[in-house]
Amino acid sequence: MNDTIDAPHAEGAAGQFNLSGVFAAALTPVGIDLSPDVARHADHCRWLLKSGCDGLGVLGTTGEANSLSAAERIDVMEGLVKAGIPAEKIMPGTGCCSIVDSVVLAKKALELGCKGVLALPPFYYKGVTDDGLFTVYSEIIERINDPRLRLYFYHFPAMSAVPISHDLIGRLRARYGDMVSGMKDSSGVVENMTGAAHKNPGFEVFAGADPALLPLMRDGGAGCITAACNVMPDVLADVYANYKTDAAEKPHKLACAIRDIVTSVPLVGALRALVARHRGDKTWACPLPPLMALNDNQRDELFEKFDATGYKMPPL
């Protein structure tokens, strides 16, 4: 049944923001032909929203978007909305090495009604300057030419090797205003996250790692977009809902512990293994090449450590 879903606290603690709260960097299930399985993807997204998520960061690193074609990414976006996942709760990854592909994907997201797009910098060439990145993002924004655009940078230097500097953010916001809305910061450096928020009032900064959610929310952040949210959405929702009080400390500690466990082996493989077990669906365990499923020893150790926390994933 393709019912439209209302997230439990979609306005978020930072109600002045365009987007805020707990977003899952959603996994992308694939079939035996390695193409995205949109029906199973929609089921997972529906569960995430019902289990505490305010939104969905689809087609990102955890969603293996850079192993998919632009056409496949469009199929995923269209398919999720057709399946009843509210477009306004989807923040799709649209950043590509090609300006043209980035524009096509962002335009499709706007056409569907998404409230924001997550834009990796072009990541093949290293050592590029802020002037080069300013030119790329300016081209993307001006070619889209739509006042509804809300662009969120994807700062993940450990993976892309192309950082997004505070100066670049300031320059682009000075020219394009609120169309340059925020950033997912997966650097793990809380000071970089809070610095971006402080230097740019109204700029929506999301933590890309679970341990950073609580300190970021206590210093001007908008929320999180994390991989481990695929297996503990209710825990992060609890942190977010209670960040102003000591009631956030217990779920924060659990979130940190689970994050440590799922990153003790290859992360995407770990999350897929846990979701596959939870759903009783072995096909979930297989990522897109070159990523690989966990071997038996890795999987068994992961399950043992995860279960030892006493945490149970929300029911399907």
Q: What is the per-residue DSSP string for 88-111?
A: GGB--B---SSHHHHHHHHHHHHH
What CA–CA distance (Å, rounded) separates 151 from 100? 16
Average pLDDT over residues 107-117: 98
- Helix, coil or strand: residue 288: coil
Average pLDDT over residues 297-308: 98
What CA–CA distance (Å, rounded) separates 127 from 123? 10
Query: What does pLDDT average to over the chain?
Result: 94
Average pLDDT over residues 64-91: 98
pLDDT tens readout for residues 238-269: 999 999 999 999 999 999 999 999 999 999 99
- Is the pLDDT confidence value at 310 over 70? yes
Q: How many CB atoms lie within 10 A of CB 57?
A: 29
CATH number of 21-244: 3.20.20.70
Instruction: Give percent of the chain with pLDDT exceeding 90.
Output: 95
- Is the pLDDT confidence value at 5 over 70? no
| Residue 16 confidence (pLDDT) | 77
| Residue 120 confidence (pLDDT) | 97
Q: How many CB atoms lie within 10 A of CB 52?
A: 23
Instruction: Give percent of the chain with pLDDT exceeding 70.
Output: 95
Average pLDDT over residues 288-297: 97
| Residue 83 confidence (pLDDT) | 98
pLDDT tens readout for residues 137-173: 999 999 999 999 999 999 999 999 999 999 999 999 9
Give the residue, 13 or 309, on which the prediction is more confident.
309
Q: Are 259 and 5 in contact (CB under 8 A)?
A: no
| Residue 14 confidence (pLDDT) | 43
- Is the pLDDT confidence value at 10 over 80? no
| Residue 1 confidence (pLDDT) | 34
Q: What's the helix, strand, coil split of the chain in %, to 5?
A: 50, 10, 40
Greatest CA span in the chain, whole angstroms? 53
Q: Each residue of 182-206: b (16+ CB within 10 Å) or e?
A: bbbbbbeebebbbbbbeebeebbbb
Average pLDDT over residues 197-224: 97
**Would you kindly state where each structural domain of the chain is located, as residue ranges?**
21-244
| Residue 8 confidence (pLDDT) | 33
Q: Are 97 and 132 in contact (CB under 8 A)?
A: no
